[in-house]
Amino acid sequence: MASDRWSDPMRHLAVSGLAALLLTGCGGSDSSSTAAKSAGIPLAIASTKQPEVPVRVTRKLDDYPAEIRTLLQRANAAVVAGRNAVAIESLCQAIGQTPDDASLFRMRADVYKLQGENASARADFSTALRLAPNDPDLWNNRGYFLMSQGLSAEALSDFNRAVELQPAHSAALNNRGLLELADQQLEAAEADFSKALEADQKFVDAWNNRAFVRMKQNKLAPAMDDIRQALKLDERYATAWNNCGLIAMRQENWEEAARAFTRAIQLDPLDSRWLGHRREDLLKLGRFEESQADAARVLWLEELQRLSTAAQQSPRGVDVWMQRGQHLLEGREFGAAAQDFTRVLLLQPQNAEALAARAGAWLSMGDRKKAMTDCDSCLAIRADKEALSIRGDLWMQQENPDRAIADYEAAGRFDEKVAEAYDLRAAMRTKAGDTSAAAADRSRAAEIRTAFAAPASTAPTAGATDPTFNP
């Protein structure tokens, strides 16, 4: 339920395994009831016969019997490895042995959500709430799950129930504030964020969210105080830096805004929103070239998003992963590019193009050994000009101009780097007393520089051949 203006309330929840899911988790569960329904799936209504005292089902891993603990550890390892189906199978076995344990259903629901199986996740959250209808955390968890599915009314009902059970439930108050903010109920949202902070002064998301709602109300000084408190608690919070920049722009403090957006970009360079905001701010500062560079980067990120979506839709599509990898190389995201080319090679181990491209990524990251290995592997498959050129650069880094020149010539490459190779060999030959060969190398280096330095006026221009040419 977050936007570029405020935070995901569960931003700090990193799913590193079932041990983490056991203690915190995000999302919530449905429970069968005929009292209310949405999209044909019943919503949970706690029985009035249940005591109104909060009863939590959260348990530590060591609290489970040994056999269940083994299954949870297996599920944990599977989630870490990205093998969600294996984790679900282990949790199914655990549930089969202890079918009345709400925490197990909630854990399996979290993994289903990771897997994108939202209907199954919702069913498990339903069972968890049926088993433990007075756990405020479960109501908040299900509310967050419903909120992530765009079911705001149902989510609000769950957050309300969590707060009824525990009036100082900071997460539920924060999440309810997000729904109110989205519905433009600014005063109500501010009140809920304030209550969340009364319950937990270190709740960084609530500081960030209250800062944003105060900015929306034009309470700029209190908003800036809040956002600075958020950043004091978490200096690496990119969304808060972005909001700091937005508040500073409202205050017409353009320089501070530029610094804030720049920090957000440093922390999260692949999010185009920060760049878009900095671009607007740089225009206010009259820094037009930098603004244009940000605009170009935004376009690059939009294309990256398009390729990423295509890759998700076709995870075994070699072509789209190659395209995305090349795009990442062009954007100087070398580590991510190497990962994409590795994915291609897992699908097609003899893909020479991917080997050459990954060699270029390794070279850019300074990993000469891996780059050389990929070049050699590529060239064992086919004569590849890119691999030859990259290997030539590697030989030059090892001050081996003979091999570098051989690879450059085989690649048909002639540029300053090649000229430098001839210069280096000339210096070595001079030192060895081979003046004739050294002179030939210097002459060759001069020829190359003359060739690529030829004035562009010697070639016909587009305007000269096409009267309709309009730059």
Q: Which residues contact 302 (CB under 8 A, 6 or more apart)?
A: 272
Measured between alpha carbons, how far is 124 from 47 in angstroms, rounded to an integer?
Answer: 19
Measured between alpha carbons, how far is 235 from 446 in angstroms, rounded to an integer?
Answer: 53
pLDDT at 455: 63
Amino acid type, 313:
Q
Measured between alpha carbons, how far is 429 from 438 in angstroms, rounded to an integer?
Answer: 5
Collapsing DSSP to helix, strand or coil, 110 comes out as helix
Q: φ and ψ at 71, to 5 degrees?
A: -65, -40
Show me where the domains of the chain are located: 1-164
Amino acid type, 163:
V
pLDDT at 52: 43
Q: Residue 312 burial by CB count (10 A; 0-12/13-18/19+): exposed, middle or buried? A: exposed
Chain-centre distance of CA 470, in angstroms?
Answer: 40
Measured between alpha carbons, how far is 138 from 24 in angstroms, rounded to an integer?
Answer: 10
Q: φ and ψ at 455, to 5 degrees?
A: -60, 140
- 57 and 138 Cβ atoms separated by less than 8 Å: yes
Collapsing DSSP to helix, strand or coil, 207 comes out as helix
Mean pLDDT by 10 residues, the chain (471 residues): 38 35 32 27 26 53 86 91 91 94 93 92 95 94 94 96 96 97 97 98 97 98 98 97 98 98 96 96 97 96 95 92 97 95 96 98 98 98 98 97 97 96 97 96 96 62 36 29
Q: Can you give the three-state secondary structure of 19-68, one letter per residue? A: HHHHHCCCCCCCCCCCCCEECCEECCCCCCCCCCCCCCCCCCHHHCCHHH
Amino acid type, 78:
A
CB atoms within 10 A of CB 308: 15
User: What would the CATH number be for the domain defined by 1-164?
Assistant: 1.25.40.10
Measured between alpha carbons, how far is 471 from 46 in angstroms, rounded to an integer?
Answer: 69
Distances (CA, A) of 338 to 335, 364, 370: 5, 10, 11
DSSP E strand boundaries for 57-163:
none
Q: Is 0.75 surpassed by the pTM of this model?
A: no
Measured between alpha carbons, how far is 52 from 69 in angstroms, rounded to an integer?
Answer: 31
Task: Give the largest Cα separation in the chain, rounded.
Answer: 102
Measured between alpha carbons, how far is 359 from 368 in angstroms, rounded to an integer?
Answer: 9
Collapsing DSSP to helix, strand or coil, 115 comes out as helix
pLDDT at 456: 52
pLDDT at 434: 95
Helices (H) and strands (E) in the chain, counts: 24, 2
